[in-house]
Amino acid sequence: MAKMEVKTSLLDNMIGVGDMVLLEPLNEDSFINNLKKRFDHNEVYTYIGSVVISINPYRSLPIYTPEKVEEYRNRNFYELSPHIFALSDEAYRSLRDQDKDQCILITGESGAGKTEASKLVMSYVAAVCGKGAEVNQVKEQLLQSNPVLEAFGNAKTVRNDNSSRFGKYMDIEFDFKGDPLGGVISNYLLEKSRVVKQPRGERNFHIFYQILSGASEDFLCKLKLEQDFSRYNYLGLDSAKVNGVDDAANFRTVRNAMQIVGFMDHETQSVFEVVAAVLKLGNIEFKPESRVNGLDESKIKDKNELKEICELTGIDQSVLERAFSFRTVEAKQEKVSTTLNVAQAYYARDALAKNLYSRLFSWLVTRINESIKAQTKVRKKVMGVLDIYGFEIFEDNSFEQFIINYCNEKLQQIFIELTLKEEQEEYIREGIEWTHIEYFNNAIICDLIENNQTGILAMLDEECLRPGTVTDDTFLEKLNQVCATHQHFESRMSKCSRFLNDTSLPHSCFRIQHYAGKVMYQVEGFVDKNNDLLYRDLSQAMWKANHSLIKALFPEGNPAKINLKRPPTAGSQFKASVATLMKNLQTKNPNYIRCIKPNDKKAAHIFNDALVCHQIRYLGLLENVRVRRAGYAFRQAYEPCLERYKMLCKQTWPHWRGPARAGVEVLFNELEIPEEEFSFGRSKIFIRNPRTLFKLEDLRKQRLEDLATLIEKIYRGWKCRTHFLLMKKSQIVIASWYRRYAQQKKYQKIKSSAIIVQSYIRGWKARKLLRELKHQKRCNEAATIIAAYWHGTQARRELKRLKEEARRKHAVAVIWAYWLGLKVRREYRKFFRANAGRKIYEFTLQRLVQKYFLEMKNKMPSLSPIDKNWPARPYLFLDSTHKELKRIFHLWRCKKYRDQFTDQQKLIYEEKLEASELFKDKKALYPASVGQPFQGAYLEISKNPKYKKLKDAVDEKIIIAEVVNKINRANGKATSRIFLLTKNNVLLADQKSGNIKSEVPLGDVTKVSMSSQNDGFFAVHLKEGSGAAGKGDFLLSSDHLIEMATKLYRTTLSQTKQKLNIEISDEFLVQFRQDKVCVKFIQGSQKNGNIPTCKRKNNRLLEVAVP
């Protein structure tokens, strides 16, 4: 996306004319065409001097970003292209730097973008003012007041989806630094008739739809509401849903905004309860009923809605029902009660709904003011923002349009007066002669409406207060009598004969010629809407409510404060409010934003000339331009003027040395501009005719083109020279690099050739040397071979000689041996036959034994003590020797295996051996214990903090610590105990607390009894008469019975030097206190699987069932 071109002046890259004061020629068509041209190029803002014209684009434009805020910050008003930020910045800087209170007046018809304009002004001021926690909180509260007021005061109309149905004026208060302190909001004329009736295609106020769409089911249930819009008569169904509007999300935004502004939770709840009550009031319907006296009376059809309203508001149902059926009139201490017919009942219902909502809205404004008001009492600077309805001309214009147009007449009057005043003050300040300006003064129209004796509002109040029959027709007759001769009042029933035949003016209407055009008003409803009457019975019923908010909204309902004086009319109240507003505005420096709606379709890119023309007329924009152009059309400070046009004069270009005014004088004299076309002020140059300014702009444009050509020529020359120098430098570099490369290639070629020649020479030399070495080698090898052959011959000859000599010696030895043998045999022949058999037997036996041992050496089994293998016996006569060798070998390898044990392992195997001697083939549980190592300390008492108390109580070394089950002799049930065995004692302790229950010296243990079966029960028998035998023997059960019995046996033997008696029997006696109980073990199937169970059969028998 191309970057947007930055404008440094209003006149730079101008699309159309940015300031209408400079428009030539000035007429309605050129005015509209200029707006249309700018609108088509997304330029939605145009100036009329210091007035901003804003056209609603009906779409988002990228001109409100934080970057734009910074671009317009602290810039001159005419320095950049027209923008609402420029006016906001001008107003804020005037307030901050010049200490002038400001007001920004935003006007235009519905849908023109007034509300959005006011938001943009406030957001800009919030962005450029100071920072800080308190300042940010104030800014946030000021900004968040908008969503609340929009929800309760805005509605969808045929012209605008978010139309403000009330006038709003906000005074934002600042401190001396320009930081916001707070604000005050004033509201004007809420269109409360919309609560009970909306024109076709329009909606009620936003808050009703937001509650039904965004509230949770529980919240709606508390308010006694349902999400279905069709359930409520006050909500128009044809426009209940609006495209592009998310009522549910807006409801969440409103609740969040109320919280930020400072509403308490109970206040928010009360507000929504009042809204729900208003909504449900529309569902109350009446039926006629005749009384005995012949008068008609109204009754409520369905009292369920009335009941729910009373539950919401805390009003007695009978009181509210009577208030809808009767009316009490008080006069001079007398009370007269009359019944209400159906039409009057519906009027009372709607009047209550309108008053309830209108007073709730006023309370909201007051409550917001309490939150956002300045907390300090220091002197404050004020910036007011007025967002109020524009001039309205509809097909059917009634009382609301009349007072709205009256307000706009007053605003137009003050606008013209303040604009002329501002022009005059600037002329005087700059020392320019002031000339009188002719303009239309609409004071005569304001007087027609607001005159205290003959004004239309005065006549309306007089007619409302007059006794007797008062109707809209009687009001029109009175107007025809009093205002007939007024030049801006028209009526067919007046005495002025010129309107008698005007068929465009109905008999029931009158017409006023406003500054913006003629508007015809229908008098129907003027009297009722001006009276704004709410029956006293309804006010008193509301005051009796238990709902604090509703009670506060109707203070006149208090019987102790009954005021028989008629309340002021709507017209007189609005007239007073407008007067206060005008007085307030006149004390401030005004800034204007005129909002224009480009089309009625609320669509982008559509510009309706007729509609825009209509708005230009009733906003009086052409009149505004003419007032600004009556004197001098354009004015500018000397410095920016000289900076902009100095290139038109050789003396001022490129730099002027001297005062800026002198430079401008030289410049204008050089250009030969007529003296009557400009004047010199103290700080500004004033140009009378826009043509003069455009001539300067044309000269500047031509001069800029010439300068651009010159710059382009110089730039092109510089670029070409730079390119040539670059090419020259590149050519030198390339040539030097090429020469270097060529020399390197040549050197490499010469080097390669030299290497080849060298290699050939070295090869020839090497081959020559090789041939010489080979010849020398062959000569050496030949001499060696000859010598070898000669030495071989000599060696073979010597060997042959030695062999011959050896054979001769051997032959002599053999002959000699044979001779000696012969001699021996001859000598011993007589002894040999008697001892030959025995010697042969012994020799043979010796050889067999020797062979046996040699074979055993190679067939020996492994050194494992459990290896049963042994070589087979080869000869029967060696049977005993074979067995003895097997026994000796087994003992030897067992000793070798034992020698590998540590002291701890020896102790373990000694205990295992002891267990084997005690229980092998006696106890069925023993085989399962052989593979289990004896650990002893199963509970790790020293490490477990749970047993710290038990560890402290036992000083001796613990041999075994295990959880056992102690059998209760009364019922056979088991209780968990900790079994401890030390060097001198046996202890039983509580498993949970660690308290020692019993302590028995080993000397008092006489016997341990157990069954021969696969169970863990055992009895510890104590010595009779010992201190520990008071409660009798212990009958216990353990998963490690073999280990416990073995360790107890070995420890007792070690300490007492006496063997502990281990009795293994399926039936034995146990001493329990004074009784002896027989414990009998039987076989049986168990419900608990393989777990033995113990049952008490009688006083003398405990039966243990073992699976």
Dist. CA 269–CA 263, nearest whole Å = 10
Compute φ and ψ for 184, nearest 5 degrees.
Answer: -135, 130
Q: What is the DSSP letter of 451?
A: -
160 neighbors 115 (Cβ within 8 angstroms): no
CA dihedral for 22, 25, 26, 28, sign (positive or negative): negative
Kindly write down the DSSP assignment for every residue of 1037-1101, as one continuous string.
Answer: E-TTHHHHHHHHHHHHHHHHSSPPEEEE-SEEEEEETTEEEEEEEEE---TTSS--EEEEEETTE
Q: Which three-class secondary structure state does DSSP give residue 167?
A: strand
Catalytic residue among 107, 115, 358, 692: 115
Q: What residues contact residue 234 under an 8 Å CB cut-off, 6+ apart?
A: 195, 196, 204, 208, 278, 279, 281, 282, 353
Catalytic residue among 297, 308, 392, 423: 392
Dist. CA 427–CA 892, nearest whole Å = 136
Specify the pairing of strand 1061-1064 against strand 1005-1010: parallel
Catalytic residue among 160, 204, 250, 491: 160
Dist. CA 388–CA 367, nearest whole Å = 21
Strand extents, DSSP E, 78-129? 102-107
Dist. CA 152–CA 911, nearest whole Å = 96
Catalytic residue among 16, 18, 111, 282: 111
- Return the structure tokens found at 848: 């067999």
Compute φ and ψ for 1077, nearest 5 degrees.
Answer: -115, 135
CA dihedral for 486, 492, 496, 502, sign (positive or negative): positive
53 neighbors 83 (Cβ within 8 angstroms): no
Q: Which of 415, 539, 533 is nearest to 465 (CA)?
A: 533
Q: Which of 622, 251, 630, 299 is nearest to 432 (CA)?
A: 630
Bond into 467 cis (ω within 30): no
In the annotation, is 160 catalytic?
A: yes
Rounded to 5°, the CA angle 265-270-371 comes to 55
Catalytic residue among 163, 355, 577, 624: 163
In the annotation, is 111 catalytic?
A: yes
Render the burial of 913-935: b for 16+ CB within 10 Å, e for the rest.
ebbeebbeeebebbeebeeeebe
Beta bridge partners of 46: 53
- Return the structure tokens found at 216: 């949770």
Q: How far is CA 94 from the centre of its chain?
A: 40
Catalytic residue among 50, 110, 298, 442: 110
Dist. CA 711–CA 719, nearest whole Å = 12
Listed in sequence order, the DSSP H helices in 386-492 are 399-430, 443-450, 456-465, 472-482
Listed in sequence order, the DSSP H helices in 620-675 are 621-629, 638-645, 660-671
185 neighbors 168 (Cβ within 8 angstroms): yes
Q: Which three-class secondary structure state does DSSP give residue 54?
A: strand
Count the alpha carbons within 13 Å of 274 in the hemisphere toward its beta carbon.
Answer: 29
In the annotation, is 164 catalytic?
A: yes
Beta bridge partners of 778: none
Kind and range of the H or E run holding 190? none
Count the alpha carbons within 13 Å of 567 in the hemisphere toward its beta carbon.
Answer: 14
Catalytic residue among 49, 153, 384, 390: 390
Catalytic residue among 164, 298, 530, 689: 164
Which residue pairs from 575-581 have beta carbons closer than 8 angstroms and sit at least 24 positions apart in sequence?
575/406, 575/450, 575/457, 577/186, 577/188, 577/189, 578/188, 578/406, 578/407, 578/410, 581/169, 581/186, 581/188, 581/386
Please list the active-site residues.
110-111, 115, 160, 163-164, 390, 392
